[in-house]
Structure 1
Amino acid sequence: MPHTPGANTSVRAAGAGRLLDEIDRTRAERPVPPHWRETLRAVPRDAFLPERVWLRDGDGGYRPCDRSRDPNGWMAAAYSDAPLITRFVTESDGTRSPSSSASQPSTVLRLLEDAQLTDGTQVLEIGTGSGYNAALLCACLGADAVTTIEVDTELAAVARANLAALSYTPTIVNTDGANGWAPNAPYDRILATCSVRAIPAAWLDQSPPGGRIVAPWDSAWCAYGTVSLTRQRDGSGTGRFAGYGSYMLISGQRSDVELYRDVLRDGQTVETSSTRLSPWTVAGAELNLDFHIGLTVPGAWYSWDTETEKAHTRLWLADDMATSWASVDYDGRQSKTFHVTQHGPRRLWDEVATAHDQWLRAGRPSVDRYGLTATPDTQRAWLDRPDNVVAQRPVRPGEFRSATA
């Protein structure tokens, strides 16, 4: 249920002050601008949280925090600069995964700053969630300037109630955000609070020349980065990535592929080899490298296995079309060479090794050296300048082709 807007006024004010101080400490070189300080104080974050949230437990999982049982802890979490899980979904294998969250306030602020909002700006928000970001937009621009989309019917209803309790009345649409919302177009800004692996054509269509699209980025390899595009007169959007942001993937671009259920089969023909490249080097050790691999080895994802009897530790790789896989084994004794097994039309480990070499030759580029040019038909990723293409992707599910760097 939404919280009454007048409740805990002094507690909220103190919490907002602590939150702003925490954000200021993490970005000491660039304090929160005065108008955003005012907005963050005006919109109480706790009013958009459910009675139970889940916090990181320090062991890779989550622990519940209930307002009724631990009101001080709950309120402290509400005004911490941390993401809070608000919903889980049960996967086909019985595991529970986060399906909705209250984003980290400093990241929310960074997205809003990158959107470059000004008076009179018309905004389309993709992913209403609980309504907190929409409330910030309303406080900044006025509710008439804000259209927000939420695909989940229950969440859309919760957001509508939360916003109404604070007298915010943006246009809230319960539909697929990938399609935008044509009735209120064009939008000067399209701001996604979920990540994407490709810019939907509808977002380009509903942006005027000079319009701006800001969206967190995701690949099958890693969820990291945010892209800011400017709509061009030819209908494309072009711009650079920034090294922040890790959001849940937009629902229509998720892939339900599992290694043991969909990828591995008895009797598959395999190719074996060895490598000197450590699997730990390319899988989670360096975000800038992970980002590069995600762009240039399309659809590839990985998982670690420490329970197989055939190796001390195994890195599994597979593609999101379930056509190819690879494994890289550490025997527990020496780390000069590793055993490689590959299957399918793609040699995924070879692609990852090539991407690693490419990244090294380019001087270990950081995320902010990369850019994207998106058209309704093609997504083109580049390094430093638009003509230095590192990957090109047709906007059709399952199709992606790498370019020679």
Structure 2
Amino acid sequence: MTEDFAAAERTALRGLLGTLKQEGLVPPEWERAVRAVPRSAYVPERIYLGDDLEPCDRADAPETWLRAVYADDSVVTQINDGEDPGEGGERWASSSASAPGIVFRMLRMAEVVAGDGALGHAGGAPYDRLVATCSVRSVPRPWLEQVRPGGVVLTPWESPWICYGLLRMTVDDAGTASGRFSPHSAFMLMRAQRADLRIFRDVVSDAHRPDESGSGLPPWRVAGDDLAAQFAMGLRLRDV
């Protein structure tokens, strides 16, 4: 790391902390941890920017790379599950570093322990709190089994329509859980729950002779630009 890069990183960190502190997300003990552990250490040398997911390499464009890493926004760190899309091939985000603001907000809501993985961590169970850092469309059973009655599971939630909510659930004595959604969240979907259907040829091959059906009512006419309405409809129409 050069002195110029280190100085630029300190400046970028001050800007990020200033933004988060204005929103009341960073208590003093967390600020010390953020200053002690650089975010850049957890972001790969190549990231992907913009709607077209153009690659940005730290070695070639350090200032652009640093701005993206220390923005209060998610950073796409992988496309196409690590496969080369080829010249002109379709690009889609398959992994990202979460926005710092939403991570701090989730930690404040959970109040104690962070963990991830569809199988949880049985060796340390039972837990008082479990926090997921990817979206799910259904709650993995091990999460409920590893949180004690009265404990909390906090996870981003996604439907086939939209990724939007945070679900905070309290586990009961029967090993089930219930809770409420909070808005404004967007995380990558857990890999094991992906349908992996992105374009028409993923569904219908040349050998297929499908029957087609359609509707004259576009879903956007029902929900419009209302994200909460889209989220509510996605919960009711999970198989669409």
Instruction: State TM-score, norm by structure 2.
Output: 0.84
Structure 2 counterpart of 1:208, one-letter code: R
Find the structure with the greater CA-based Rg. 1
Amino acid at match of 2:61: D
CA contact (8 A) 1:124 1:187 kept: no
For residues 97-135 of structure 1, the C-alpha deviation after alignment (integer angstroms, 9 at most, x for no partner) is 211111111111111111112xxxxx3511xxxxxxxxx
From 207, 215, 221, the equivalent of 2:147 is 207
1:241 paired residue among 161, 181, 184? 181
Q: After the TM superposition, which segments of 4 or more aligned residues of structure 1 sit over 6 Å from their partners?
A: none
1:71 CA drift (Å) = 1.6
Change (3 A) 1:52 1:284: farther
Superposed displacement of residue 12, structure 1: 3.5
Cα distance, 1:32–1:259 mapped onto 2, change above 3 Å: same
CA distance in 2 between partners of 1:71 and 1:11 (Å): 9
Give secondary structure in 2 for the equivalent of 1:111: helix
Letter in 2 for 1:50: P
Deviation readout 1:175-207 (Å, 9 max, x if unpaired): xx2222212222222111110011111101011
2:13 to 16, 20, 23: 16
CA deviations on 1:208-266 (whole Å, 9 max, x unpaired) are 12222111101111111111112222212222111121111111111133534425954
Structure 1 position 259 matched with structure 2 position 200 = yes
Give the 3-state SS of the residue equivalent to 1:244 in structure 2.
Answer: coil
Aligned to 1:125: 115
Question: Counterparts in 2 of 1:29-178, with a 5 A limit?
Answer: 30=24, 32-56=26-50, 60-89=51-80, 90=83, 95-117=90-112, 123-126=113-116, 177-178=117-118
| Change over 3 Å in CA distance of 1:298–1:61 after alignment to 2 | same
Q: Aligned-pair distance for 1:11? A: 3.9
Distance 1:284 1:50 in 2: 37
Is 2:211 the counterpart of 1:268?
yes
Q: Is contact 1:91–1:97 with CA below 8 Å preserved after alignment?
A: no
How much is the aligned-residue C-alpha RMSD, in angstroms? 2.9
- Supply the distance in 1 between the matched residues of 2:21 and 2:122 (Cα, whole angstroms): 38
Q: TM-score, normalised by structure 1?
A: 0.52
SS of equivalent residue, structure 1 residue 256: coil
What are structure 1's unaligned runs of at least 5 residues? 118-122, 127-176, 301-405
| Identical columns (%) | 38
Structure 2 unaligned regions, length at least 5? none
> May I ask how many residue pairs the two structures share in their alignment?
233
Q: How much does 1:50 deviate?
A: 1.2
Q: Structure 1 residues 36, 244: closer, same or farther in 2, change over 3 A?
A: farther
Check whether the contact 2:52–2:91 (CA below 8 A) recurs between aligned residues. no
Task: Give the match's secondary structure for 1:210.
Answer: strand
Alpha-carbon distance in structure 1 between the residues aligned to 2:192 and 2:84:
16
Per-residue deviation at 1:8?
Answer: 5.6
Distance 1:72 1:268, change over 3 A: closer
Identify, as 1 or 2, the structure richer in strand. Answer: 1
Shift of 1:291: 0.4
Matching residue of 1:354: none
Matched to 1:78, the amino acid is V
Structure 1 residues 204 and 7, CA gap change in structure 2 (3 angstroms): farther
CA contact (8 A) 1:221 1:299 kept: no
2:160, 2:234 within 8 Å by CA — same for their partners in 1?
Answer: yes
Q: Which amino acid aligns with 2:211?
A: Q
What do residues 331-375 of structure 1 show as CA deviations (whole Å, max 9, x unaligned)?
xxxxxxxxxxxxxxxxxxxxxxxxxxxxxxxxxxxxxxxxxxxxx
> Contact 2:119–2:140 (CA<8 Å) still a contact in 1?
yes
Deviation of 1:296 after TM superposition, in Å, equals 0.4
| Pair 1:203–1:279, CA change in 2 (3 A) | closer
